[in-house]
Amino acid sequence: MKVYHGGYTKVREIDLKKCRAGRDFGQAFYLSNSRFHAEECARQRIEGVTGGEKIATDTLEMRGMIFCIGNTPVQEEDDSEQWKIARMNGSKGVITEFDFNEEAFNDKSLEIIRFEAYTEDWLNFVIFNRIYAVVHGWRHKFDIVEGPIAEDKVIRRVYAHVFGLTTWEQAVEELKAFPYTHQIALCTEKALKMVEFIG
């Protein structure tokens, strides 16, 4: 299956240590079978590191911690390699194509979880990774996670529940109204063997 990664540079060698924690499925390398979603990710990523035009975001505070809904808070400019690459690529970002070996889903040596829709289990998992795993330094056990993306409007519903603005039942019901979006998170070195760089 052809999959895409959106970022500020072409990724030929994946380094999980460079991947951010606190995302939908934890610290991992993220791919999508939708080029459109990868392009959106690239755009947001490049805007985050260049200080370009930002998507409107809301910020909520919980136990003294700030959570940004939508774009990652813009970083201060520095002279790192990341900034040099971002400037060189302008505001469009870069798409890297990979071939994902779908036989991975039948590989008994891999721990895999797949969410086919915005479900209660998906909501639980995203809350764990975006909040509790960050606060407590926890990690899940899975090598590969596949499921919907917590896009801006979706994550607003997730945090509305976390902060007690909606009930669990309301949150799950509201999520069902959103169209399915796709992402695969490669969380371990074992998982990285399931993808091959195309270009």
Per DSSP, the residues of 164-178 read TSS-HHHHHHHHTTS
pLDDT computed for residue 92 by the predictor: 65
Contact status, residue 198 vs residue 5, Cβ threshold 8 Å: no
- List all residues 6 or more positions away from 141 whose beta carbon is below 8 Å from its beta carbon: 111
Rounded alpha-carbon distances, angstroms, from residue 159 to 89, 110, 123, 132, 176? 33, 31, 10, 13, 16
pLDDT computed for residue 163 by the predictor: 78
Range of the domain at 125: 2-197
pLDDT computed for residue 78 by the predictor: 40
pLDDT computed for residue 28 by the predictor: 95
Helix 152-162 vs helix 168-175: crossing angle, to nearest 10: 170
3-state DSSP call for residue 101? coil
Contact status, residue 14 vs residue 96, Cβ threshold 8 Å: no
Q: Consecutive 10-residue runs of the chain (199 residues): their mean pLDDT?
A: 90 91 92 90 66 39 38 38 55 85 96 92 89 85 94 77 80 81 95 96
Put simply, whether the predicted model's pTM sits higher than 0.85 gets the answer no
Number of domains the chain is built from = 1
The C-alpha atoms of residue 113 and residue 127 are separated, in whole angstroms, by 16
